[in-house]
Chain A
Amino acid sequence: MTTTPDIHAPTFLAGDEFSIPTFRLLKQDGSLHEGATAPELEQDKALAIYRAMVATRVLDERMLAAQRQGRLSFYMQCTGEEAAVVGATAALDDADMIMAQYREQGALVYRGFTFDEFMNQLFGNELDYGKGRQMPIHYGSRKLHYMTISSPLATQIPQATGYAYGQKLAGDGLCTTVFFGEGAASEGDFHAALNMAAVHEVPVIFFCRNNGYAISTPSIEQFAADGVAPRAFGYRMHVIRVDGNDILAVYSATREARRIAVEHNQPVLIEAMSYRLAAHSSSDDPSGYRSKKEEEAWRDKDPILRMQRWLIDLGWWSEEEEKALQESLRREVLETMKRAEKRPPPPLDSLVTDVYADVTPELQRQLDSLKRHIRQYPEAYPKGASSLDPDVRAGDDVAAKGED
């Protein structure tokens, strides 16, 4: 218990007495702010970060275009926020768990999720790890320590606290980073997660991507306070606000946050200030709630351009390399997309697997009855019909053979 001084007259502290500074290292022209020192970052790692940011941007552009052509049902971009997510991921141990919201494809790209793996999920084909059950962008990878995305917002935040508590008990020196938007930070789950993390001294990094909007709702209608960061005080938690478009600042802040989390078993809140340059999703049109002028102003703060200038100044990158990278990425995205599109959907049996560890008798009955029905109307269920077993595709009556 901390002791607080007594007062003997009603003296209120105003809610806006705290204002939290923003940590910045890199200017938009690629030079450092006065008094700023770049974090230690060897050339290879810096280039890996940069390539992941560019690959994320290319993936997003191509997949949005694919959605517009009707090849994909839905897509979500993270344009403008690449530095926040890739920078944070690069500062972690590759074995640290990441629990993301849905706009964190950059973390996967950095950790080596291949374009094929992205496409299989986006097209929900038979190779999708999630077996075609979730909408596009709900990625997951056990190998890369990236928890499968769930759409209900903020549910991953208290889960991260729990996961990280388990890591602490396991004593493996790892932590969990959980990403969420400033909108999701309004949910009760957010508050529950921070409180439990602080009370139980959990090595978890709460990473808020404050990109200004939750669908159409601007952050000023989301909270009256100075963003999300001041909430950390209420829970007695370490906190930093960082320029989310500044790769060097995000990287150093997260690296330090990880040190605090792992060495001291203390949770940390990071609020990365950025802007959602794209629409909320492919189903959204932001012209209904914000101005082109506002978007343009943020385009001028492009995090990728900022890092590119820094790299070029250091002599670590060049225009030619940039061009070659862009071209090869575009080609690769298109090729993998074509491959993934052609693959069949997961088999019909996948409808009833994974609900439980074993298919229950009732689910088996339901599946059998569905199969009988599809055999009767194969042309009405093209996906399901083609995924019945080969005998059935050839028109054999499997039921007669006693397999049904």
Chain B
Amino acid sequence: MPTMNMLQAINNALDIAMGEDDKVLCFGEDVGSFGGVFRATSHLQEKYGRARCFNTPLVEQGIIGFANGLAAQGSVPVAEIQFADYIFPAFDQIVNETAKYRYRSGDLFNVGGLTIRTPYGGGIAGGHYHSQSPEAYFAHTPGLKIVVPRDPYQAKGLLLASIRDPDPVIFFEPKRLYRAAVGEVPEEDYQLPIGEAEVTKEGTDVTLVGWGAQMEVIDRAVELAEKDGISCEVIDLRTLLPWDQDSVAESVFKTGRLVITHEAPRTGGFAGEIAAAIQERCFLYLESPIARVTGLDTPFPLTLEKEYLPDHLKIVEAIRASVNF
């Protein structure tokens, strides 16, 4: 099996999707011959022509509005927003249009073909305009699906599933891992399920839930916790909307403890939603309060990024506090 980094896996998924279905189009700022500023769309223009892989003018609301129209027509657009920090000019198109197309027309029209790819997250010394994790804004919007892969294998399988999913998907790519995460990725076409979490490690004392780049951080914390003799169960949510409550609840029934982590600020962050839903379902099984390890309620900093980020040490402390409550 070939090894790929996350960018290569994403590029490979796009290549497969475009090769298989000529309705699939890739576009966005710098996406054309240059292949995107991170090179996720490298060689696609060469291979599939300028009509199917192209640069757009620099206008995110235009990119997504255009993509909505294209998807309504029956094409399968994969639109790139260069950084998740720059998705907000397109917020209206996504939240009011993409999300509600099917609902407001009684299914006369839909934009299910649309996939929006965008790099998110910190750890790259990007300051607050190249580091944000805006997933919670979108997770508040019925009609969207939100997918976040943690490694190259997941990225390829989940991206192919997103492109073929009957609903519009925002696909948040953990850019810190673009080149850092390398792993075996099958060359052939495969899909991973949307809407299903994955238990990446079984354990009995505490459940850890995260997504995207946080999964690697969780793994480091778990190594430390297990040295203390704490047995951790780890869940990668993979899809934030709709999220897999059953898998998380089932795990918490078993462990009685839950620690959730994300990079985004705490207040209104998606961990709050998970905590609320799980305490509704698992209240009598909980042995300690559900803990959140998150960014602070501030914009993303630069110089003090390391202090700001929820790292393995903060997570391991939360695990210990949860177990020793």
The residue that B89 contacts in the complex, of A74, A189, A214, A222, with Cβ under 8 A, is A189
Interface of A is mostly: loop
Q: Determine if A350 is an interface residue (Cβ-Cβ < 8 Å).
A: yes
Within 8 A of A (CB), among B303-325: 303-304, 306-308, 311, 313-314, 317
Q: Report the Cα distance A133→B126, complex, angstroms.
A: 10
Q: Determine if A162 is an interface residue (Cβ-Cβ < 8 Å).
A: no
Q: Report the Cα distance A120→B301, complex, angstroms.
A: 16
Q: Is B61 a contact partner of A124 (Cβ separation < 8 A)?
A: no
Q: Is B302 a contact partner of A215 (Cβ separation < 8 A)?
A: no
Q: Determine if B51 is an interface residue (Cβ-Cβ < 8 Å).
A: no
- Total number of B residues with any Cβ neighbor in A under 8 Å: 41
Q: Which of B31-39, B102-110, B245-253 makes up part of the contact surface?
A: B31-39
Q: Report the Cα distance A188→B90, complex, angstroms.
A: 10
Within 8 A of B (CB), among A124-165: 124, 132-135, 138, 150-153
Q: In the complex where A217-B55, A348-B307 touch, is A132 in contact with B302 (Cβ < 8 A)?
A: yes
Q: Is B32 a contact partner of A134 (Cβ separation < 8 A)?
A: no
Nearest residue (CB) in B for A150 is B129
When distances are taken between beta carbons in the complex, the residues of chain A under 8 Å from B33 are 216, 289
Q: Is B303 a contact partner of A132 (Cβ separation < 8 A)?
A: yes
Q: Determine if B135 is an interface residue (Cβ-Cβ < 8 Å).
A: no
Within 8 A of A (CB), among B126-172: 126-130
Q: Is B313 a contact partner of A380 (Cβ separation < 8 A)?
A: yes
Q: Is B298 a contact partner of A363 (Cβ separation < 8 A)?
A: yes
The residue that B58 contacts in the complex, of A186, A374, A376, with Cβ under 8 A, is A186
Q: Determine if A381 is an interface residue (Cβ-Cβ < 8 Å).
A: yes
Within 8 A of B (CB), among A250-290: 284, 288-289
Q: Report the Cα distance A214→B29, complex, angstroms.
A: 9
Which residue, B29, B32, B127, B297, has most C-beta atoms of chain A within 10 A?
B127
The residue that A351 contacts in the complex, of B29, B307, B311, with Cβ under 8 A, is B307
Q: Is A366 a contact partner of B304 (Cβ separation < 8 A)?
A: no
Q: Determine if A184 is an interface residue (Cβ-Cβ < 8 Å).
A: yes
Q: In the complex where A351-B296, A363-B296 touch, is A217 in contact with B58 (Cβ < 8 A)?
A: yes
Interface of B is mostly: loop
A75 CB, nearest partner CB in chain B, Å: 13
Nearest residue (CB) in B for A284 is B37
B39 CB, nearest partner CB in chain A, Å: 9
When distances are taken between beta carbons in the complex, the residues of chain A under 8 Å from B301 are 132-133, 351
Q: Report the Cα distance A348→B306, complex, angstroms.
A: 11
When distances are taken between beta carbons in the complex, the residues of chain A under 8 Å from B89 are 152, 187-189
When distances are taken between beta carbons in the complex, the residues of chain A under 8 Å from B29 are 214-215, 217
B285 CB, nearest partner CB in chain A, Å: 27
Q: Determine if B276 is an interface residue (Cβ-Cβ < 8 Å).
A: no
Within 8 A of A (CB), among B257-293: 266-267
Q: Is A355 a contact partner of B298 (Cβ separation < 8 A)?
A: yes
Q: Is B266 a contact partner of A124 (Cβ separation < 8 A)?
A: no
Nearest residue (CB) in B for A376 is B317
The residue that A346 contacts in the complex, of B60, B88, B303, B313, with Cβ under 8 A, is B303
Nearest residue (CB) in B for A134 is B127
Q: Is B58 a contact partner of A132 (Cβ separation < 8 A)?
A: no
Q: Determine if A73 is an interface residue (Cβ-Cβ < 8 Å).
A: yes
Q: Determine if A235 is an interface residue (Cβ-Cβ < 8 Å).
A: no
The residue that B296 contacts in the complex, of A134, A216, A221, A352, with Cβ under 8 A, is A352
Q: Determine if B66 is an interface residue (Cβ-Cβ < 8 Å).
A: no
Q: Determine if B180 is an interface residue (Cβ-Cβ < 8 Å).
A: no
Q: In the complex where A351-B308, A373-B317 touch, is A216 in contact with B34 (Cβ < 8 A)?
A: yes
When distances are taken between beta carbons in the complex, the residues of chain B under 8 Å from A87 are none
Q: Determine if B85 is an interface residue (Cβ-Cβ < 8 Å).
A: yes
B158 CB, nearest partner CB in chain A, Å: 27
Q: Determine if A183 is an interface residue (Cβ-Cβ < 8 Å).
A: yes
When distances are taken between beta carbons in the complex, the residues of chain B under 8 Å from A135 are 125-127, 129-130, 302
Q: Report the Cα distance A244→B314, complex, angstroms.
A: 52
Within 8 A of B (CB), among A355-384: 355, 360, 362-363, 366-367, 370, 373-374, 376-377, 380-381, 383-384
Q: Determine if A18 is an interface residue (Cβ-Cβ < 8 Å).
A: no
Q: Determine if A345 is an interface residue (Cβ-Cβ < 8 Å).
A: yes
Given A217-B58, A351-B298, A352-B296, 9 more A-B residue pairs with CB atoms under 8 Å apart are: A135-B302, A186-B57, A186-B58, A186-B62, A216-B37, A216-B55, A348-B304, A355-B297, A366-B296
Interface residues of A (CB under 8 A from B): 73-74, 124, 132-135, 138, 150-153, 183-184, 186-189, 214-217, 221-223, 284, 288-289, 345-346, 348, 350-352, 355, 360, 362-363, 366-367, 370, 373-374, 376-377, 380-381, 383-384
List 23 A-B residue pairs with CB atoms under 8 Å apart, sorted by A's residue number.
A133-B299, A134-B302, A150-B129, A151-B127, A152-B86, A152-B88, A183-B58, A186-B57, A187-B60, A187-B89, A188-B59, A214-B30, A216-B37, A216-B55, A217-B58, A223-B57, A348-B304, A352-B298, A355-B299, A367-B296, A370-B307, A380-B313, A384-B304
Interface residues of B (CB under 8 A from A): 29-30, 32-34, 37, 54-55, 57-62, 85-86, 88-89, 125-130, 266-267, 296-299, 301-304, 306-308, 311, 313-314, 317
